[in-house]
Amino acid sequence: MDIFANHLLSWILFFPVLGAAALALISSRADKALRWTAIAASVVPLAITIYLWAVYQPSANALQFAFQEQADWFPAIHSSYHLGVDGISLVLVLLTTLLTPLALLASHSIKDHLKAYLILFMLLETGMLGVFVSLDLLLFFVFWEVGLIPMYFLINQWGGEKRNYASLKFILFTMGGSLGLLLAIQMIGAVTGTFDLVTLIQTWPALKQASLFGLPSETVKAIAFWAFVIAFAIKVPIWPFHTWLPDAHTEAPTAGSMILAGVLLKLGAYGFIRLVLPLFPAESNHYAIWLAVLAAASIVFGAFASAGQKDFKRLVAYSSINHMGFVILGVAVAARVGASQSLAASQDAAIAIDGAVLQMFSHGLSAAGMFFLVGVLYDQAHTRLLDRFGGLYAILPVYGSILMFTSMASLGLPGLSGFISEFMVVRGAWPEFTLITAVSMLGLLFTGVYVLKALKLVLQGPLNTSWKDHLRDIKAREIAVIAPLMILSLVIGFWPSWIVQVINQTVLAWF
């Protein structure tokens, strides 16, 4: 029993790998056995995560992580297998373990090379979870890379017509950022003699005497800071590093888009919160206003670009840039306030970061739901062009109702989770970046424009009679995929305290 109770994070982290090994032993022709084995292997981490959530006890010490595990891994360079979670990472572990089985359920249209597809999904889940639970920088980087490779192959092998271009663009952008990230991590380890994140948070910001290759500590810190920022900015992505995202989303299979929007984009935002803010407080404070400007640009330009799209999936893809801009705006507020002695400023930062983390969770629900619904329609119509539809609510009333609900969640309608998270970010950002926040509200306006445009062109107006005998309403299996996302969005919209409290207890330990 101790091997389970004392290693809960390891079970969550590596159970998908065990699932991948089990899949490798099953015949490639046994489709049903392959699908149910993969789903079972993804449900077990979700069950353990729910248990962790139930027994989680926050600490008043920001450096005291829960469910810690530590063992020697690479002692020659002082790197260890160190895992742990706090209120921020636990929320994202829950999001990952929730979306993975739902994405697998949404993969019913995958027929070719199903075994390889499911194995890649299992490995992808382990990579994503590893980023959220790692407390060693080198281990963090290993899982960061593990999360990239499976997504590249998922796009390249099971994507759309331009999958080769989209997958190459995805890997070049993200690997380019990863090279700088690895360099920065190695520099930090060489200077300090450790990769342990808990130790580094206490020592690295105050380090003044160390040097590397004759470079003063200020230069080493500046290089590491910008390497971290660029790597995470590409991953979020923040404008103008966003150009890989629409192509990757558009060409990825439905389940791949669900995970890409729902979880993979959060790796970059998590990197800002977990690494950039605590390791580089002075640099973060100095450049906070420029980060806020880029966040506002992402919000506004993402909404503008989304409103101009004719492809339904591409419209949803650009909306992710818009929504993730609010996360970065919250991060910018925390960077601006830092260790301020002002009680009001600290409260603003806490509200903004609470909202940013909740926005990651809320966007994961709504974006995954939207990509799934686009995929349901595309599987039948074999087109995503908005002007090819029209009046479909008359023949798809259940699908139409679900699409309207999920679109309103993406819009940020009061009573749904997106409203709570975006309101908190704006409330926290307003006192610190009043003008920038006001400008970003233009993005909120155009969020309504692109959401209502999509609903009008797909569901409303006169029925395009060419679809009358070719489209069927959403199936029970498909409702089973979208229903948990809708329920959670509604529950958070009316009762956010169950998740905000977990986030806030960690954030308050910072400020």
Domain boundaries, the chain: 287-511
Question: Quick one: tokens of 333?
Answer: 């507020």
More confident call, 164 vs 340: 164
Place of tokens 């920088």: 137
pLDDT of 52 strictly over 60 = yes
Place of tokens 């075994």: 115
pLDDT of 353 strictly over 80 = yes
Task: Kindly give the residue spans of alpha helices, DSSP state H, lying in 339-416.
Answer: 343-381, 397-411
From the list 453, 452, 455, 426, the residue with the least C-alpha distance to 441 is 426
Distances (CA, A) of 303 to 5, 268, 383: 46, 20, 23
pLDDT of 507 strictly over 70 = yes
Average pLDDT over residues 125-139: 93
Q: What is the pLDDT at residue 191?
A: 84
Distance CA 158, CA 253 (A): 6
> What is the value of pTM for the model shown?
0.93
Distance CA 480, CA 477 (A): 5
Q: Which amino acid is at 248?
A: A
Q: For 394, which DSSP code? A: G
Residues 33-37: contacts with CB under 8 Å, at least 24 apart:
34/114, 34/115, 34/118, 35/104, 35/107, 35/114, 35/118, 37/118
More confident call, 3 vs 350: 350
Phi and psi for 64 in degrees, rounded to 5?
A: -100, 100
pLDDT of 107 strictly over 60 = yes
Q: Report the Cα–Cα distance between both ends of the chain, in Å, rounded.
A: 38
Average pLDDT over residues 171-195: 87
Neighbouring C-beta atoms of residue 85, cutoff 10 Å? 24
Q: What is the pLDDT at residue 19?
A: 93
pLDDT of 404 strictly over 80 = yes
Residue 381 and residue 389 in contact, taking contact as beta carbons nearer than 8 Å: yes
pLDDT of 217 strictly over 80 = no
Q: Which of 45-54, 217-226, 454-463 has the lowest mean pLDDT?
A: 217-226
21, 26, 27, 30: CA torsion to nearest 10: -130
- Binned at pLDDT 50, 70 and 90, residue 467 comes out as confident
Q: What is the pLDDT at residue 67?
A: 87
Question: Quick one: tokens of 242?
Answer: 């966003």
Q: What is the pLDDT at residue 339?
A: 58
Distance CA 184, CA 171 (A): 20
Question: Quick one: tokens of 392?
Answer: 């479909």
From the list 132, 133, 129, 127, the residue with the least C-alpha distance to 152 is 127
Place of tokens 């993979």: 264
pLDDT tens, position by position, 252-264: 898 889 998 889 8
* C-alpha neighbours within 13 Å on the C-beta side of residue 130: 24
pLDDT tens, position by position, 373-398: 999 998 888 888 888 888 888 888 99
Distance CA 207, CA 209 (A): 6
* C-alpha neighbours within 13 Å on the C-beta side of residue 392: 29
Distance CA 446, CA 427 (A): 20
Distance CA 257, CA 370 (A): 10
Element (H, E) at 224: helix 217-235
Angle between helix 397-411 and helix 434-459 axes, rounded to 10 deg = 170
pLDDT of 206 strictly over 70 = yes
Q: Which of 198-212, 248-262, 264-278, 458-472 has the lowest mean pLDDT?
A: 198-212
Residue 178 and residue 152 in contact, taking contact as beta carbons nearer than 8 Å: no
Q: What is the pLDDT at residue 140?
A: 93
Distance CA 12, CA 133 (A): 10
Q: What is the pLDDT at residue 213?
A: 66
**Mean residue pLDDT across the chain:** 88
Q: What is the pLDDT at residue 401?
A: 93
% of the chain with per-residue pLDDT over 90: 50
Distance CA 199, CA 203 (A): 6
Q: What is the pLDDT at residue 214?
A: 65
Residue 185 and residue 195 in contact, taking contact as beta carbons nearer than 8 Å: yes
pLDDT of 93 strictly over 90 = yes
Q: Which of 32-41, 54-63, 441-450 has the lowest mean pLDDT?
A: 54-63
- Give the burial class of 413: count Cβ atoms within 10 A of its Cβ; 0-12 exposed, 13-18 middle, 19 or more buried: middle
pLDDT tens, position by position, 411-421: 888 999 989 99
% of the chain with per-residue pLDDT over 70: 97
Q: Which amino acid is at 134?
A: S
Peptide bond just before 205 cis, omega within 30 deg: no
Distance CA 433, CA 329 (A): 9
Residue 69 and residue 10 in contact, taking contact as beta carbons nearer than 8 Å: yes
Average pLDDT over residues 36-41: 92
Q: What is the pLDDT at residue 1?
A: 55
- Binned at pLDDT 50, 70 and 90, residue 98 comes out as very high
Neighbouring C-beta atoms of residue 164, cutoff 10 Å? 12
